[in-house]
């Protein structure tokens, strides 16, 4: 009893630490929980498609209550999503969301895996998904995940039997998981994997169902539940003072880029899973029924269990180090296990337990978070043993080189500081997310080193291995080299140690639009990765364009500093597009990459090298009107994009929308999902419609049909639907080729719909009153024609336009047809613009 009280008393909760990079420093109750986990030999693999698909309640329950090794296999890294916390999209968003998944797993106790599949955007059907992904490669990655992780249980987030009812990636994840369940144990399938990892037959596979899939709670209550298992995932963990559902919310809240902040709930709550493969357990609460999850599972495990179950019983919360002698005995036996799979896992777990019971702290910190090839890196090494155990340092091994003899006794609670250094190899490649080093396809990342497939991050090459002797037993610990500093506000800040190139360059604008043949001056930022960097920069550019001057010299004194060089880009006379890349020449080397750094508190500092390139587009574009008012919605790049084609764009706040302000503008553009996100707009609609009646143009971009802040989207009736056209190459039919919108001032043809990216559009209206004229028709394969993508209505002297076309995706990609069409939308009815202006003035 005394133990239990103490146990509750000393439970400090550390999950909420805001610094994702700091090493874990578990307290006694956390150590005890990992001891219980050491004594459980069973695994669960959860499978879905995207970061944020995973059910963190169930993952946390399996990891923390059942104590199973629990991993989430997310087929993609979520590149196709939106970013609510910063400007990063696509690959860089994928890097952020990878790290958000890792942060979620640090919170709920799971592990994280991926495949090479790329989140290319919304997909209606698994047929389309599996045609764009390389199905064979993704399937082989799922089979690999099963053979490496060796789960007893697989749980799919989605139903493999309902294609077309959810995102095609979702259904595909479940279909591939079901297929892989049957293949993983077949040695003739992907035999090269079998050589390294063997085969594996999981015991059961489930679908993580809920009442929602049955249509209603009522229908679910009546449904046959003979194939369902259920768990109370609201269980309370006295060891950390949290309900499982509270941990799940903390975990879910790591998906900050998706705006998934989540408030914890408490109390009993049932979670259901439906058996789809294997035998149904008799005990509907025991997912592992019939599977030996004790130490008896492995040959030679019995003796280990005898030691470790006793350690669990005798665990002293006031002195965890009392467990060390028995843990060492068990460690030696684990090292002799024949079962390589469990040997590796349990060896790592028990080593960490010994480390934590001894209050050991081993760290190797570099003096900077970046170094370049050939640089000498100085390390501050810290070692401390805070237990009475006899601990000695025997060797230090830096970056897996030959170990250095370094005999020191770690006297209780006396810190040892060592200074070491190493030279980065001359030909050392820079560190960057491994899946981004080679250009992939729309659906797949290309990974050259096959041993990295599935890994969440590039394995850390720079590390220090501490060869210790604890009570006469050799145990080594490998720690990645880190950088740490003190931030006056945040306190101790950790950053990963990375290798960068000695020079990098970037052009801030990723798309540069030339609306006529006037040259533009483009700043190129050169950044030094080391001191005293000198060289010159030239620009690679497409045929028909020219750049002046041809080369420019630069000289930068200090590492980390930048120098700006201005180049003049001269466009051709006619419509043309291509890429420009700054090339930095230093001695005999040429650098063409851009260094991108991302700093967010919930994930470790990220360093990414990507090809430095910007798209240049010479548009054949005419336009009328000058001043555009922009009302912000959920975030798009309308202001920058329209400025690029020569408009004067002013962002106005909802509270500033009034007749007088609007009278200065030719048109108002409403940002994407503004009527879903901006409450105040509902009071401003009449003023906006009056502006249109008085001769202004109003362009409203897509909104979702759920949670609209107003029913009155337009001056005439208009009903939003979920119609979308996800094939960016879907044929576009001009319903009214003679309409002003398609002729003035730019003649729009089918050619203007070439080269679109990711999709045509979404949430098109499917009903509208007769005042509206539908301009375009398009549809995805096998669907009926959708005519609501671009609707225009004359209202008084002006025009109201509603469009679900994805201008927010096409503008950042520099799609010329999208710019030309948008210019027409702004220009409609403005033939006599100058006359109107004269009267106004």
- What is the closest distance, in whole angstroms, from the C-beta atom of residue 560 to Zn ion in the complex? 38
C-alpha to C-alpha distance for 827 and 841, rounded to whole angstroms: 20
- What is the closest distance, in whole angstroms, from the C-beta atom of residue 751 to Zn ion in the complex? 34
| Identity of the residue, 71 or 742, whose beta carbon is nearer to Zn ion in the bound complex | 71
Q: Which of 638, 612, 707, 669 is nearest to 802 (CA)?
A: 669
- What is the closest distance, in whole angstroms, from the C-beta atom of residue 90 to Zn ion in the complex? 16
- What is the closest distance, in whole angstroms, from the C-beta atom of residue 255 to Zn ion in the complex? 11
- What is the closest distance, in whole angstroms, from the C-beta atom of residue 155 to Zn ion in the complex? 16
What burial letters (b/e) apply to 634-649, b meaning 16+ CB within 10 Å?
bebbbbebbebbebeb
Binding flag, residue 53, Zn ion (CB under 5 A): yes
Q: Which of 249, 311, 248 is nearest to 60 (CA)?
A: 248
- What is the closest distance, in whole angstroms, from the C-beta atom of residue 170 to Zn ion in the complex? 6
Give the binding range for Zn ion (CB under 5 A) out of 45-53, 396-404, 644-652, 832-840. 45-53
| Identity of the residue, 50 or 527, whose beta carbon is nearer to Zn ion in the bound complex | 50
Give the binding range for Zn ion (CB under 5 A) out of 46-54, 334-342, 575-583, 825-833. 46-54
| Identity of the residue, 53 or 88, whose beta carbon is nearer to Zn ion in the bound complex | 53
Q: Which of 725, 736, 782 is nearest to 758 (CA)?
A: 725
| Identity of the residue, 53 or 91, whose beta carbon is nearer to Zn ion in the bound complex | 53
Residue closest to Zn ion when measured from CB atoms? 50
| Identity of the residue, 53 or 632, whose beta carbon is nearer to Zn ion in the bound complex | 53
Give the binding range for Zn ion (CB under 5 A) out of 49-57, 92-100, 246-254, 586-594. 49-57
C-alpha to C-alpha distance for 655 and 683, rounded to whole angstroms: 10
Give the binding range for Zn ion (CB under 5 A) out of 48-56, 114-122, 278-286, 725-733. 48-56
- What is the closest distance, in whole angstroms, from the C-beta atom of residue 4 to Zn ion in the complex? 42
- What is the closest distance, in whole angstroms, from the C-beta atom of residue 268 to Zn ion in the complex? 28
Site track for Zn ion across 698-737, x = CB under 5 A: ----------------------------------------
φ/ψ of 103, rounded to 5, equals -65, -40
SS (H, E, C) 496-545: ECEECCCEEEECCCCEEEECCCCCEEEEEEEEECCCCEEEEEEEECCCCC
- What is the closest distance, in whole angstroms, from the C-beta atom of residue 636 to Zn ion in the complex? 22
Binding flag, residue 50, Zn ion (CB under 5 A): yes
- What is the closest distance, in whole angstroms, from the C-beta atom of residue 804 to Zn ion in the complex? 21
| Identity of the residue, 119 or 613, whose beta carbon is nearer to Zn ion in the bound complex | 119
| Identity of the residue, 53 or 613, whose beta carbon is nearer to Zn ion in the bound complex | 53
| Identity of the residue, 50 or 57, whose beta carbon is nearer to Zn ion in the bound complex | 50
Q: Which of 771, 774, 762 is nearest to 703 (CA)?
A: 762
- What is the closest distance, in whole angstroms, from the C-beta atom of residue 52 to Zn ion in the complex? 6
Site track for Zn ion across 210-229, x = CB under 5 A: --------------------
SS3 332: helix
DSSP, residue by residue, 60-98: HIIIIII--EEEEEESS--TTS--SSSS--HHHHHHHHH
Q: Which of 139, 143, 138 is nearest to 45 (CA)?
A: 143
| Identity of the residue, 66 or 174, whose beta carbon is nearer to Zn ion in the bound complex | 174
Total residues interacting with Zn ion, rule: CB under 5 A: 2
Run of H or E residues at 658 = none
| Identity of the residue, 53 or 759, whose beta carbon is nearer to Zn ion in the bound complex | 53
| Identity of the residue, 157 or 370, whose beta carbon is nearer to Zn ion in the bound complex | 157
SS (H, E, C) 216-241: CHHHHHHCCCCCEEEEECCCEECCCC
> Per CB under 5 A, which of residues 466..495 are in contact with Zn ion?
none
Spatial CB neighbours of 41, under 8 Å, sequence gap ≥ 6: 292, 293, 294, 295, 297, 298, 301, 342, 346
Site track for Zn ion across 306-335, x = CB under 5 A: ------------------------------
| Identity of the residue, 50 or 252, whose beta carbon is nearer to Zn ion in the bound complex | 50
Site track for Zn ion across 4-43, x = CB under 5 A: ----------------------------------------
Binding flag, residue 119, Zn ion (CB under 5 A): no
- What is the closest distance, in whole angstroms, from the C-beta atom of residue 167 to Zn ion in the complex? 5
CA-based end-to-end distance of the chain = 87
DSSP, residue by residue, 789-804: SEEEEEETTEEEEEE-
C-alpha to C-alpha distance for 7 and 770, rounded to whole angstroms: 72
C-alpha to C-alpha distance for 467 and 176, rounded to whole angstroms: 43
- What is the closest distance, in whole angstroms, from the C-beta atom of residue 173 to Zn ion in the complex? 9
Question: CB burial class (10 A; 0-12, 13-18, 19+) of residue 829?
Answer: buried
DSSP annotation of 328: H
| Identity of the residue, 48 or 233, whose beta carbon is nearer to Zn ion in the bound complex | 48
Give the binding range for Zn ion (CB under 5 A) out of 51-59, 578-586, 683-691, 807-815. 51-59
- What is the closest distance, in whole angstroms, from the C-beta atom of residue 102 to Zn ion in the complex? 18
| Identity of the residue, 50 or 125, whose beta carbon is nearer to Zn ion in the bound complex | 50
Beta bridge partners of 467: 395, 476
C-alpha to C-alpha distance for 55 and 276, rounded to whole angstroms: 18
C-alpha to C-alpha distance for 581 and 540, rounded to whole angstroms: 5
Long-range contacts of 26-31 (CB under 8 A, 24+ apart): 26/356, 28/317, 28/318, 28/320, 29/239, 29/240, 29/317, 30/239, 30/240, 30/356, 31/320, 31/353, 31/356, 31/357
Question: CB burial class (10 A; 0-12, 13-18, 19+) of residue 518?
Answer: exposed
> Per CB under 5 A, which of residues 66..105 are in contact with Zn ion?
none
- Token pair for residue 49? 């498609």
- What is the closest distance, in whole angstroms, from the C-beta atom of residue 729 to Zn ion in the complex? 23
| Identity of the residue, 257 or 685, whose beta carbon is nearer to Zn ion in the bound complex | 257
Give the binding range for Zn ion (CB under 5 A) out of 50-58, 374-382, 737-745, 773-781. 50-58
Contact footprint for Zn ion (CB under 5 A): 50, 53
């Amino acid at each position: 009893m005394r133990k239990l009280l103490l146990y509750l008393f000393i439970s400090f909760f550390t999950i909420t630490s805001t610094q994702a990079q700091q090493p874990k420093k578990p307290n006694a109750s956390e150590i005890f929980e990992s001891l219980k986990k050491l004594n459980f030999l069973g695994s669960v693999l959860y499978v879905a498609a995207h970061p944020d698909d995973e059910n963190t309640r169930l993952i946390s329950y399996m990891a923390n209550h059942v104590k199973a090794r629990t991993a989430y296999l997310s087929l993609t890294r979520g590149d196709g999503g939106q970013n609510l916390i910063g400007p990063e999209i696509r690959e860089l968003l994928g890097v952020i969301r990878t790290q958000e998944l890792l942060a979620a797993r640090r919170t709920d106790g799971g592990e994280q895996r991926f495949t090479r599949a790329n989140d290319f955007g919304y997909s209606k059907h698994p047929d389309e998904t599996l045609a764009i992904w390389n199905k064979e490669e993704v399937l082989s990655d799922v089979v690999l995940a099963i053979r490496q992780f060796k789960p007893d249980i697989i749980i799919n987030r989605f139903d493999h039997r309902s294609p077309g009812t959810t995102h095609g990636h979702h259904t595909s994840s479940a279909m591939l998981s079901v297929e892989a369940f049957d293949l993983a144990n077949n040695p003739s399938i992907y035999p090269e994997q079998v050589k390294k990892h063997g085969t594996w037959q999981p015991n059961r596979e489930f679908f993580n169902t809920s009442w929602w899939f049955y249509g209603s709670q009522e229908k679910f209550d009546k449904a046959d539940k003979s194939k369902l298992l259920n768990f109370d995932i609201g269980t309370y963990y006295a060891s950390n003072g949290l309900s499982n559902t509270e941990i799940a919310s903390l975990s879910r809240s790591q998906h900050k880029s998706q705006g998934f902040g989540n408030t914890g709930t408490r109390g009993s709550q049932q979670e259901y899973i439906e058996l789809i493969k294997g035998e149904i357990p008799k005990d509907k609460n025991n997912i592992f029924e019939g599977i030996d999850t004790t130490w008896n599972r492995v040959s030679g495990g019995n003796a280990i269990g005898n030691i470790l179950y006793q350690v669990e019983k005798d665990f002293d919360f006031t002195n965890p180090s009392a467990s060390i002698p028995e843990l060492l005995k068990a460690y030696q036996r684990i090292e002799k296990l024949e079962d390589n799979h469990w040997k590796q896992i349990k060896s790592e777990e028990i080593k960490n337990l010994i480390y934590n019971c001894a209050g050991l702290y081993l760290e190797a910190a570099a003096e900077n978070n970046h170094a370049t090839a050939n640089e000498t890196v100085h390390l501050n090494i810290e070692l401390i043993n805070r237990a009475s155990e006899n601990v000695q340092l025997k060797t230090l091994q830096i970056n897996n080189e030959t170990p250095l003899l370094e005999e020191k006794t770690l006297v209780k609670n006396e810190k040892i500081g060592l200074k070491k250094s190493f030279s980065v190899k001359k030909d050392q490649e820079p560190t960057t997310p491994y899946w981004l080093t080679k250009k992939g396809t729309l659906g797949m990342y290309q990974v050259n080193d096959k041993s990295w497939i599935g890994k969440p991050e590039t394995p850390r090459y720079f590390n220090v291995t501490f060869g210790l002797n604890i009570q006469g037993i050799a145990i080594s610990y490998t720690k990645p080299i880190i950088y740490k500093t003190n931030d006056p506000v945040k306190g101790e800040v950790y950053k990963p140690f990375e290798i960068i190139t000695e020079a990098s360059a970037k052009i801030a604008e990723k798309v540069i639009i030339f609306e006529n043949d006037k040259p533009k001056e483009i700043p190129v930022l050169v950044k030094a990765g080391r001191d005293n960097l000198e060289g010159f920069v030239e620009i690679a550019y497409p045929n028909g364009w020219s750049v002046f001057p041809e080369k420019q010299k630069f000289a930068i004194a200090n590492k980390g500093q930048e120098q700006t060089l201005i180049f003049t880009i001269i466009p051709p006379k006619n419509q043309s597009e291509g890429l420009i890349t700054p090339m930095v020449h230093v001695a005999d080397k040429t650098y063409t990459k851009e260094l991108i750094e991302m700093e967010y508190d919930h994930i470790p500092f990220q360093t990414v090298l990507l090809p430095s390139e910007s798209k240049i587009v010479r548009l054949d574009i005419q336009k009328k009107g000058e001043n555009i008012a922009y009302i912000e919605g959920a975030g798009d790049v309308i202001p920058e994009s329209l400025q690029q084609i020569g408009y004067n764009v002013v962002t106005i706040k909802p509270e500033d929308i009034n007749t007088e302000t609007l009278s200065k503008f030719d048109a108002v553009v409403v940002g994407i999902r503004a009527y879903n996100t901006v409450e105040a707009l509902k009071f401003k609609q009449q003023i906006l419609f009056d502006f249109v009646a008085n001769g202004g143009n109003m362009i409203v971009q897509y909104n979702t049909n759920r949670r609209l802040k107003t029913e009155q989207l337009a001056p005439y009736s208009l009903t939003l639907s979920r119609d979308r056209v996800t094939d960016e190459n879907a044929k576009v039919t001009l319903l009214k080729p003679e309409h002003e919108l398609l002729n003035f001032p730019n003649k729009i043809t089918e050619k203007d719909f070439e080269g679109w990216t990711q999709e045509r559009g979404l949430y098109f209206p499917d009903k509208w009153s007769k005042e509206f004229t539908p301009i375009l028709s398009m549809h995805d394969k096998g669907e009926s024609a959708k005519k609501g993508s671009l609707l225009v209505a004359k209202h008084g002297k002006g025009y109201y336009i509603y469009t679900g076309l994805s201008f927010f995706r096409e503008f950042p990609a520099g799609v010329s047809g999208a710019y030309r069409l948008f210019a027409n939308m702004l220009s409609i009815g403005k033939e006599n613009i100058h006359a109107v202006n004269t009267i106004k003035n």
